[in-house]
Structure formats: structure tokens, C-alpha cells
Amino acid sequence: MDHRSIGSLRVSVVGLGGNNFGMRIDATASERVVHAALDAGINFFDTADIYGSTKSEEFLGRALAGRRDRAIVATKFGMAVDEQRKGAQPEYVKRACDDSLRRLGIDHIDLYQLHQPDPSVPIADTLGTLDGLVKAGKVREIGCSNFSAEQLDEAVRATKPGAARFVSVQNEYSLLHREPERSVLPACERLRLAFLPFFPLASGLLTGKLEPGKPAPAESRLSLSWTSRFTTDKNVKVAETLKAFAAARGHTLLELAISWLASRPQVASVIAGATSPEQVRANAAAANWTLTREEFAEIDRLAT
């Protein structure tokens, strides 16, 4: 599998998201998924302290026991674990990092990400604390998530010379959600930031499993009430059109969704979740379509 850079880290172009761990699958099933990912050549694992009510980090850490040297581990902080554990205040950042290290059972986090901006805390204060964690050896690289281009610029201005800087931003991006193309992706190119797309499969809609006019499969993510924003009539119609486009060229919609993202030079790794070894193997194999300029143009026409 191809590997790309996030700062000093070299990550597989397809990564594994851990938001199913502790929410949709238990520790044993999570371990099967993680081991299948490693065996398929995936080395980048992305989770967060809030996933699975903190269980995701625990399950990922257990699954990587004995194989930690093969994994690049990313996690996030800042969204509310509870009323006391949230935000980007310096003292809490240090506590959140220690809590994540304990749950993961590791001695350092490869990529530690601020999960969302905290308008109550100057970004310089948060960055200073993160720099301290890097210097202490608890974190290798730092990143952010859900940041606008303006907030990325602000973070660059607030970074002191010689201090750790954000090397990545993780925002929603898929064939059905292309907002980052307006300003965040150009900012990544300008600021030399890696881009990490979340919801790359539009919460399962771009796997091709949903049939128009029929309910989502009972065990799928799309059966969950909070995913209804993905299954608008327009999105379902576009997904079907793109599925036919891919099939006419001997590919699946899943391969189109992942390969299209992987073709973007700013994208370092396409982080896709999975609940079974079969799913993670399919995701790992999906970044195999080198799209032509003509195909890109046709996809743009079909997806708008």
C-alpha cells in the first residue's frame, strides 16, 4: 500500500477509523478489525477520547498490544467526554493526553489532534501546551480537526518559532460533501498541511449498499437515526449515478469513493471505519483506481 506523510509520520493511504469501537462493536470484534487492518497493510489508526464513551481508545490499545511498532496511532481531545472533561484549556489538555495514553496503553501518541476549535481559549495557549507534550515525548506530531481556513491561518500565526506546529487538519470530505475544496484544501497546500477526510464514505452511503426506495440494512451505520442527513433524496440519487459510472468501468462505488479522495495531493490518508474484517479488507483494497482527467471531469458533472 502507498504511504504518505503527516509531518514526520509515514501513514498508509487508507487508514482505519475507530468510531465504531465501543459503540457498534465490542472489544473482541474491534480486535479482529484492527488485526485485519494490520494484515492488509494499514498502519494508520485514528480514534478520539469521546468515541465509544472512551471505550474506543481502550479497545484499540488492547488490539495493538504486541503490534504497536507496526501502528501510527492518532487520537483527539477537546469535545466533551463529560461536563468536566472538555475544551482546550492548557491544564485540561495535559490531563486529556495522560488519560488517552493510559486508555491506549502506550507511552506516546503519534498524532494528537484538537477535535474542534475552542473559542474560549486563545489558540496560542493550546499550541504552547501541545508543544510541551511534544517536548516531553508524550506526543510526536500535533493536528487539528473541524478547522476553517481562517482558523488554520490563525494557528500558524500563533505558533512560536521552533515550536510544534499543526501538521494536519481532519475535516469532513467525500464525493457528497466537497466544502473543503473552497478554502481548506488550498490552505493545506499553502501551509504544507496534510488533509485527513472523515466520513469519506458518507457514513456508508458511498459503499453502494443502500438501494433507492428501500430502508438501510438493519446492521448498517445508515440505519442509525443520526445518519439521516446523509440519505437525502439528492445524495441517494447521486450515489446511484456514481455507482453506475464506476460499474461501467469495472469498479465499485467504494473504490470510486476512496480512490477519488486518495487522488487529491493534499490527502494523506482516507480514514474509513469498519465493523468486520471483510469491510476493512475491502477498504484497504479500494484505493486502486487511478482516475483519468476525463473521469474526474465526468465525476464532477455527475456529483453536482
Structural domain contains residue 281: yes
214: pLDDT strictly greater than 70:
no
Mean pLDDT of the chain: 95
Among 202-216, 235-249, 273-287, the range scoring the smallest mean pLDDT is 202-216
Structural domain contains residue 263: yes
Whole-number pLDDT of residue 226: 58
Q: What is the pLDDT of residues 2-53, one digit of tens each?
A: 999 999 999 999 999 999 999 999 999 999 999 999 999 999 999 999 999 9
Whole-number pLDDT of residue 69: 96
Structural domain contains residue 238: no
Structural domain contains residue 22: yes
Could you tell me what percent of the chain has a pLDDT over 90?
Answer: 90
Structural domain contains residue 221: no
Residues catalogued as catalytic: 51
**What does the pLDDT average to over 285-292?**
95
**What does the pLDDT average to over 134-155?**
98
Whole-number pLDDT of residue 217: 67
Structural domain contains residue 72: yes
C-alpha cell at 157: 500565526
Beta bridge partners of 12: 3
**What does the pLDDT average to over 206-227?**
68
**What does the pLDDT average to over 287-296?**
96
Residue 220: pLDDT band (50, 70, 90) is: low
Whole-number pLDDT of residue 228: 77
256: pLDDT strictly greater than 90:
yes
**What does the pLDDT average to over 132-161?**
98
Q: What is the CATH number of the domain that holds 8?
A: 3.20.20.100
φ/ψ of residue 102, rounded to 5: -65, -45
The pTM of the full predicted model, rounded to 2 decimals, is 0.94
Number of domains making up the chain: 1
Strand order of the β-sheet with 109-114 is 194-198, 166-172, 139-145, 109-114, 72-77, 44-46, 14-17, 270-273
Whole-number pLDDT of residue 215: 66
**What does the pLDDT average to over 231-235?**
90
CB neighbour list of residue 232: distance below 8 Å, 6 or more residues apart: none
- Domain span including residue 86: 3-202+254-289
304: pLDDT strictly greater than 90:
no
Structural domain contains residue 120: yes
**What does the pLDDT average to over 117-127?**
98
d(CA 162, CA 160): 6
Residue 63: pLDDT band (50, 70, 90) is: very high
Could you tell me what percent of the chain has a pLDDT over 70?
Answer: 95
Structural domain contains residue 246: no
259: pLDDT strictly greater than 90:
yes
